[in-house]
Amino acid sequence: MRLTRRAWLAAGLASLVVPPALAQASGGAAWPARPVRAVVPFPPGGAIDALARVTAARLAETLGQPFVVENRPGAGGTIGSAEVARAAPDGHTLLWVSTAHAVNPGLYPRLPYDGLADFAPVMQVARVPNVLVVRADLPAATVAEFAALARQRSGDVTYASAGSGTTIHIAGELFTARTGVQMTHVPYRGSAPALQDLLAGRVDAMFDSLTSALPQIRSGRLRALGVTTAERSTLLPEVPTIAEAGVAGYAMDPWFGLLAPARTPDAVLARIEGTLAAALAEPATRDRLLAVGLEPIALGRAGFAAVLARETAEWTAFVRQAGIRVE
């Protein structure tokens, strides 16, 4: 049901082949005519914010216009997304999104926009695996041992999240659904305080973003049991996927991507896609992203559109079936 890394890379290489002459002949050369707003619908400091700023700097160098990253946080990313959905479809306002974009239709039944119809996919740019981590003194060294412990202490094992409805929360709900164990969800106002309480031993586990968890894993303060993605992470190759570790059917591949308002001219979309793909192919850009825990993907417009459609349907159904609500 999900693309393999090889398929992602193949699609990314294909997206590199966007002849500049074709974009110019179609009117793409007029873009960008002024500074471009790159809206991040989440607070500063997170992985998606880092991605936006790394790519903005490179695109500005290549295209000769500033790319201004603007944070418009609130309501799980829906406030900033609604703003971009209403923007002029000329390529001068873009939106950075995460897997939350596909989850939100299940969480917010009355969104002020249509997550598919009101946007034009540009590229799925990177992924950042979530990783099941436990406090260092928890008597579980593998996913199977953790599941057995949770089953033995039914309801007493706790897992923290960055808030109800976040991908960290949904990764935990998916684990309980696939294993049948009962755990207690402890939501926080963001990943940082959740991680602090995990390190302090106030909660037992967390399905944290690898970006924030990796330093604690490497220091030995947290124990990594499994990554949520369908394939192992290149940043943590020794840690199995949760599915590999015995939880059949488990896969959650958190990603980041770029959207434009619907009806943005095709030539403009092609030029953004080609320029961004070329930037991601540069070793220096890839190294900067890998340094903050981001794995470049470079999946072009058609592939990203398919991912959005499929995952919106899948996560909407799962969120509603699991009864997940925003608190």
pLDDT at 287 over 70: yes
Residue 288 near residue 53 (C-beta atoms within 8 A) = no
Give 152's contacts (C-beta < 8 A, 6+ positions apart): none
What is the mean pLDDT of the segment spanning 271-284?
A: 96
In this structure, the answer to whether residues 116 and 9 fall within a common structural domain is: yes
Residue 248 lies in a domain: no
What is the mean pLDDT of the segment spanning 239-254?
A: 96
- Give the pLDDT band (50/70/90) at residue 35: very high
- Give the pLDDT band (50/70/90) at residue 22: very low
How many domains in the chain? 2
For residue 125, give the H/E element and its range.
strand 119-127
Residue 239 lies in a domain: no
Which structural domain, as residue segments, surrounds residue 24? Answer: 5-127+254-322
What is the mean pLDDT of the segment spanning 28-32?
A: 73
List, for residues 103-134, the tens digit of each pLDDT value: 999 999 899 999 999 999 999 999 989 999 99
β-partners of residue 161 are: 187
What single-letter DSSP state applies at residue 240?
P
What pLDDT is recorded for position 2?
Answer: 42
pLDDT at 268 over 50: yes
pLDDT at 14 over 90: no
pTM of the full structure: 0.86
- Give the pLDDT band (50/70/90) at residue 15: very low
What is the mean pLDDT of the segment spanning 227-240?
A: 94
In this structure, the answer to whether residues 33 and 79 fall within a common structural domain is: yes
In this structure, the answer to whether residues 288 and 175 fall within a common structural domain is: no
In this structure, the answer to whether residues 10 and 68 fall within a common structural domain is: yes
What pLDDT is recorded for position 21?
Answer: 37
Lowest-pLDDT choice from 18-22, 79-83, 175-179, 206-210: 18-22
pLDDT at 28 over 70: no
Other Cβ atoms less than 10 A from the Cβ of 60: the count is: 16
Residue 243 lies in a domain: no
What is the mean pLDDT of the segment spanning 51-61?
A: 95
In this structure, the answer to whether residues 118 and 148 fall within a common structural domain is: no
List, for residues 142-191, the tens digit of each pLDDT value: 999 999 999 999 899 999 999 999 999 999 999 999 999 999 999 998 88
In this structure, the answer to whether residues 21 and 92 fall within a common structural domain is: yes
Is 30 or 34 the better-scoring residue by pLDDT?
34
pLDDT at 208 over 80: yes
Domain boundary among 181, 209, 227: 227
CA angle 91, 93, 99 (to 5 degrees): 105
pLDDT at 96 over 80: yes
Other Cβ atoms less than 10 A from the Cβ of 126: the count is: 28
Classify burial at 141, counting beta carbons within 10 Å of its beta carbon; exposed 0-12, middle 13-18, buried 19 or more: exposed
Query: Computed over its alpha carbons, how large is the radius of gyration of the chain?
Result: 20
- Give the pLDDT band (50/70/90) at residue 29: low
In this structure, the answer to whether residues 123 and 272 fall within a common structural domain is: yes
In this structure, the answer to whether residues 123 and 258 fall within a common structural domain is: yes
In this structure, the answer to whether residues 141 and 215 fall within a common structural domain is: yes
For residue 52, give the H/E element and its range.
helix 47-63
What pLDDT is recorded for position 5?
Answer: 44
pLDDT at 38 over 60: yes
Lowest-pLDDT choice from 14-28, 177-191, 236-250: 14-28
The CATH number of the domain holding residue 111 is 3.40.190.150
In this structure, the answer to whether residues 77 and 122 fall within a common structural domain is: yes
Residue 143 lies in a domain: yes
Q: What share of the chain in percent tops pLDDT 90? A: 82
